[in-house]
Amino acid sequence: MALKLPAAQDPVLAAMTPRPRSQMSQPASNLDPLIVGIQVEMETLIITHNKFGWQDLEPGIRKTIRARWVAALEGFGLSEIQAACRKFTAQNPDGNPNEGHIRKLILQRRGRELRNA
C-alpha cells in the first residue's frame, strides 16, 4: 500500500493547490525554483504550439498537466529541460509536446554524452 503524504508535503499535490483565478496561468511562487521552471517551460511550449488552447482548458486540467510535467522532469536540471524544449520546437514546429517528448530528448542527449566520454 502506498503511503499518502499530506498535500503540504507532496510537491505534486502542492503544485495542484488551488489558487485565485487571476493566477491560474502562473506557477505558484512558493514552490521550488526547479518546479516553477518546469511549469514555465511547459506552459511556454504548450502556448507556442497552441494545439489545444491552454487558456481554454479547465483549471483542474491545467493543474494535472503541470503536475505530470513536474513528476516526469523534476529529476533533471532546468538547463537540460530548457535545451530539450528548444530542440523539440526546432525539430517539431507543428508538434504537440508532452512531458514524454522532453524526457526522451534529455535521456537521448545524456546517452550520447556517455558514449562520447
Of 28, 105, 114, give the one whose Cα is nearest residue 72.
105
Residue at 46 is within a domain: yes
Residue at 64 is within a domain: yes
Residue at 25 is within a domain: no
Q: Is the pLDDT of residue 5 over 50?
A: no
Instruction: Give the structural domain span for 76.
Output: 31-116
Q: Is the pTM for the entire model greater than 0.85?
A: no
Average pLDDT over residues 48-68: 83
Residue at 14 is within a domain: no
Residue at 104 is within a domain: yes
Residue at 1 is within a domain: no
- Banded pLDDT at 107 (limits 50, 70, 90): very high
Q: Give the CA count within 13 Å in the CB-facing half-sphere of 35.
A: 21
Model pLDDT for residues 19-40, shown as the tens digit of each residue: 443 444 554 556 789 999 998 9
Most confident range, picked from 1-5, 52-56, 72-76? 72-76
Residue at 24 is within a domain: no
Residue at 13 is within a domain: no
Strand intervals (E) in the chain: none
